[in-house]
Amino acid sequence: MELNNECTLLMGDCLERMKEIPDGSVDLTVTSPPYDNLRTYKDSLAWGEHVWKPVLQELFRVTKAGGVVVWVVGDATIKCSETGTSFKQALYAMECGFNLHDTMIYRKETPPKTHKRYEQQFEYMFVFTKGAPSTFNGILIDSKNAGRKRTGTMRQDGDDLTSRNAGGVVAEKKLKGNVWEIICANGGTKDKSANKHPAIFPEKLANDHIISWSNEGDTVLDPFMGSGTTGKMAKMNNRDFIGIEKVEEYFKIAQDRISAT
């Protein structure tokens, strides 16, 4: 398999097809693996530790030194208890050799449920790195207090906090925080064909991670390609892409979306 193509789409089980990817050849992975047993994906899913552990092992193998894996995941709730699978996956990724560079939050609105707890409004975005990340193109947003004098507080020898003048003024822009609120109307895409997939990856989420952790010409991987959102945004941002999808119907959706970009 040649990886110097702009886009390489592979149909099949990611554990088998990832073996075709050379060691240390991927700059960035942006993916959202299955969430416990929440969906069956055309009855194709046999999901558990026997799958996600070797997937994380393979991701460590194919990731370049300084490369990044963005792992977007949530937990099922069974018998009034969250499974904690997402935490198990993060800890196992560290056992594989990854650094847990950041635990980010993807905040979204979901339909209300009656389940005797506060409404679930987020998923985890674990950012794993193979050593120190070689690329970080931080996204800047408008500063709320732009132009105002910088002030702050400091603790003296006692218990009181005292104000101090930090010097200078607040800049026009500041680095975006690690809680991302993504509007997901129509699944976060205008592509009607993507709605045939039960769990569409929001385009802005994929886009912002791609521009944050990679550069033009880098290789981006999604071993759980689904409807092809990561591939579409990688192509739009002039990155090479490798996508793997097991379900033929979803593979064709991804193929059409990416080829139309």
Domain count for the chain, please give it.
Answer: 2
Q: Domain limits at 111?
A: 7-138+177-259
Whether 125 and 185 share a structural domain: yes
Question: What pLDDT is recorded for position 15?
Answer: 95
Whole-prediction pTM value? 0.85
Instruction: List the CATH number of the domain containing 56.
Output: 3.40.50.150
| Residue-level pLDDT at 148 | 85
In the prediction, which pLDDT does 119 show?
A: 84
pLDDT of res. 41: 44
**Any domain includes 64:** yes
Decide if 105 is inside a domain.
yes
Taking CA atoms, 123 is separated from 32, 87, 253, in Å, by 10, 12, 25
Confidence band, pLDDT 50/70/90 cuts, at residue 261: confident
For residue 199, the model assigns a pLDDT of 58
d(CA 38, CA 89): 17
In the predicted model, is pLDDT for residue 183 greater than 80? no
147 by DSSP, 3-state: which? coil
Tell me: do 151 and 118 sit in the same domain. Answer: no
Residue 154 has pLDDT above 70, yes or no: no
**Domain assignment present for 19:** yes
- Distance, CA of 197 to CA of 182 (rounded, Å): 19
In a domain, residue 1? The reply is: no
SS3 sequence of 161-198: EEEEEEEEECCCEEECCCEEECCCHHHHCCCHHHHHCC
Between 219 and 5, name the one with better pLDDT. Answer: 219
Comparing 42-46, 86-90, 119-123, the range with the smallest average pLDDT is 42-46
Same domain, 65 and 109: yes
Say yes or no: 100 and 228 in one domain.
yes
Residues 144 and 158 in one domain: yes
Of 84, 31, 23, 94, whose CA–CA distance to 226 is shortest? 31
Tell me: do 171 and 183 sit in the same domain: no
pLDDT of residue 2: 43
Answer whether residue 96 is part of any domain.
yes
Ranges 109-118, 169-178, 189-198: which has the least confidence: 189-198
* Complete DSSP assignment for 6-75: SEEEEES-HHHHGGGSPTT-EEEEEE----TTS--TTTT---SHHHHHHHHHHHHHHEEEEEEEEEEE--
Q: 84-114, pLDDT tens digit by residue?
A: 999 999 999 999 999 999 999 999 877 777 6
What's the pLDDT at 191?
A: 55
Q: Compute the mean pLDDT over every residue in the chain, rounded to the nearest whole number.
A: 86
In a domain, residue 2? The reply is no
Residues with Cβ within 8 Å of 186's Cβ and at least 6 positions away in sequence, in order, are 195
Residues 150 and 40 in one domain: no
The answer to which of 63-72, 124-133, 187-196, 245-254 has the lowest mean pLDDT is 187-196
User: Token pair for residue 192?
Assistant: 């009607």
Residue scoring higher pLDDT (191 or 75): 75
On whether both 163 and 103 belong to a single domain, the answer is no
Identify whether residues 91 and 46 lie together within a single domain: yes
pLDDT of residue 102: 98
User: What are the backbone dihedrals phi and psi of residue 57, each rounded to the nearest 5 degrees, phi first?
Assistant: -60, -45
Residue 127 in this model has a pLDDT that exceeds 90? yes
Q: Where residue 47 falls among pLDDT bands split at 50, 70, 90?
A: confident
| pLDDT over 70 at 4, yes or no | no
